[in-house]
Amino acid sequence: MSRQVSDEAPDWWRDAVLYHVYVRSFADSDGDGVGDLPGLTGRLDHLSWLGVNAIWLSPTSVSPDADFGYDVSDYRRVQPSLGGDVALDALIATAHERGIRVLLDLVPNHTSVEHSWFVEARAGRGAPRRDWYVWADGRGAAPPNNWLSDFRERGLPRSAWTFDPPSGQWYLSSFLPEQVDLNWRNPAVRDEFFDILASWFARGADGVRVDVAHKLVVDDRLRDNPSLHPDDDPVSRQRGQRQLMNAERPELHDILRSWRRLADSLDPPRLLLGETYVGAVERLAPFYGAGDELQLALNIPFLRTPLTAAAMRTTVDATLAALPPRAWPLWCGSSHDDGHLASRWCGGDQALARCALLLLLTLRGTPLLYYGDEIGMTDVEVPANRRRDRGGRRDPARTPMQWSAQPGGGFTRPGVTPWLPLGDCTRNSVAGQRADPHSTLCLCHDLLAARADRDELRRGEMTWLASPEGVLAWRRGTAHAIAVNLTDGLVEVSGISGRVVVATDGGRAGESLPGRTLLAPRSGLLADLG
């Protein structure tokens, strides 16, 4: 690993701004309409300029792409259509030269049906790798229990079990039938993944994002899940039942601890960021363990909080209160499963998107941007005949990065049809926003620069300041304050005297604040106090 990244503090991730690249949608270097690793390498200039410290790549292992990389058929090789092994090594080396760390997406809960392990397991009840997966007899003609897949079929709930006619048994498939759940009670599976993880770290990965970390290990007796209660959290309601028997099982923590021991044993230590798709912040805490499991856990309740001052303050406070003392929060408002924050939180309003980004980038914790967030990119409507996602309605969240107004949007060559339709690049693109110092892009750049320059913006305590209804104001450490007006009216905020560092409505940087300041509708600022 190059010096540029290894010289930093071991817990670099507390100071970092992370950036999630959905590789298929970032940059297409070979003109097949699908983004790839050389394309991403070619765009590292943008990420360096923006100031991100680490990128997390959507899955890069070999996959038949039933769920676009989340169905792996070989964990040890890189998907040829993304550029193969050579391209991943080149990306890691180039990113490291620029001081950008690289996190890979590990998908341990399930493999593709095409993985050689499953091909072997499927050969019959006595097959050598049979117990690498979760098999069970049905209840008569019905599946073994009532567990539901996280993916619906034509909008309707589907069993998490798939029938395998030759053996007369059912296999667990918590997502698509082509994604087969591994049996994490089997020590051979644990050993294999420990080795895969070690090999990824040896090749230069600075960490991993652990897909569906909350679902590893299911009940050993395969008991039914209880039905919903009226006061259940939104994630459970979406799943259609309480996932007590096939998610958040206490046994999974043992696995996370073993990976953390491996991550901590290396120099520099590696990062484990988990997809912990749970419905309440209190249930995130266990994933941090006693500082010996995940370093960062995805906060879905925050992502799902509406962008109002009262709701955001409640979720932020609940998160900070719920996490164990040394645990560090992770904040994001967008994902490839849920959509871009400019749409989800802001209904496409750019002024609000700038407020959301100011909030995300100045809370106490590590922010995670999704590609396109930096230009306030919105989800794009995808006509029925161009939909690709079988797991839900997630295509609009995954349309190509809008680089420029050129044909192909700077994503692919002119004349090539991208795998998902491009949004309107004449109205919103990286190139267009680079030219405007008051753009969302330049705001993000300036906020990242402000974070890099000010220790307290990264590590300082967070203290709420009194503010009018609909406004959030807080201090970071002793020397910085942030105020965000999420209302449609002009408001006056008191108690902030100093100088504006960055403001969402351009032109205010450098302004001195006398202790009372007016904030235009849907606007905010970061100030140095004093």
User: Closer CB to ligand GLC, residue 298 or residue 473?
Assistant: 298
Number of H helices, E strands in the chain: 15, 21
Site of tokens 């503010």: 467
Q: Which amino acid is at 120?
A: E
CB 213 within 8 A of CB 254: no
Least separation in angstroms between residue 239's CB and ligand GLC is: 12
- Give the residue among 59, 34, 118 at the shortest CA–CA distance from 275: 59
Q: Least CB distance from residue 212 to ligand GLC, whole Å?
A: 5
d(CA 12, CA 366): 10
Strand 491-503, strand 512-519: pairing: antiparallel
Q: Residue 188 half-sphere exposure, CB side, CA atoms within 13 Å? A: 9
Q: For the CB of residue 78, give the shortest distance to ligand GLC in the complex, in Å.
A: 18
- 211 a catalytic residue: yes
Say which amino acid occupies 159: S
Q: How far is the CB of 160 from ligand GLC (least distance, A)?
A: 12
> What's the min distance (Å) between Cβ of 278 and ligand GLC?
12
Q: Which is nearer to ligand GLC, 18 or 212 (CB)?
A: 212
Which of 211, 248, 338, 374 is catalytic? The answer is 211
CB of 6 to ligand GLC, least distance (A): 29
Distance in angstroms (rounded) separating the CA atoms of residues 301 and 319 = 9
Look up residue 308 and give its amino acid. T
For ligand GLC, give the closer residue by CB, 206 or 275: 275
- Pick between residue 122 and residue 215 the one whose CB is nearest to ligand GLC: 215
Secondary structure (DSSP) of 162-186: EEETTTTEEEE-SS-TTEEEB-TTS
- Both tokens of 50, joined, read 């923006």
Within 13 Å of residue 117, how many CA atoms lie on the same side as its CB?
22
Residue 275 known to be catalytic: yes
Question: Taking phi first (over 0 means left), then psi (-120 to 50 degrees means alpha), and beta for anything else, what does residue 168 get?
Answer: left
CB of 458 to ligand GLC, least distance (A): 27
Query: Min. distance of Cβ 440 from ligand GLC in angstroms?
Result: 25
Locate 144 and state its tokens.
């073994």
Euclidean distance between CA atoms 46 and 434, whole angstroms: 10
Q: Which is nearer to ligand GLC, 112 or 169 (CB)?
A: 112
Helical axes 187-202 vs 252-265, angle rounded to 10°:
30
- Tokens (6 digits) for 203: 């090749």
Q: Using CB positions, name the residue nearest to ligand GLC.
A: 70
- Which residue, 212 or 281, is less far from ligand GLC as judged by CB? 212
**Closest to ligand GLC by CB, 217 or 450:** 217
Q: Where are the alpha helices (DSSP H) in 187-233?
A: 187-202
Exposure string (b/e) for 114-137, b if CB count within 10 Å is 16 or more?
bbebbeebbeeeeeebbebbbbee
Nearest to 221 by CA among 191, 180, 251: 251
Closer to ligand GLC by Cβ: residue 391 or 506: 391
Task: Indicate which residue of 28, 36, 105, 275 is catalytic.
Answer: 275
Residues 251 and 217: beta-carbon distance below 8 Å:
yes
Q: How many CB atoms lie within 10 A of CB 88?
A: 26
As beta bridge partners, residue 159 has: 148
- Cβ 68 to ligand GLC, closest distance in Å? 8
**Which residues contact ligand GLC by CB under 6 A?**
67, 70, 107, 175, 211-212, 275, 336-337, 391
**Lookup result for tokens 């001052």:** 309
Whose Cβ is closer to ligand GLC: residue 96's or residue 398's?
398
- 3 state SS of 290: coil
Residues serving a catalytic function are 211, 275
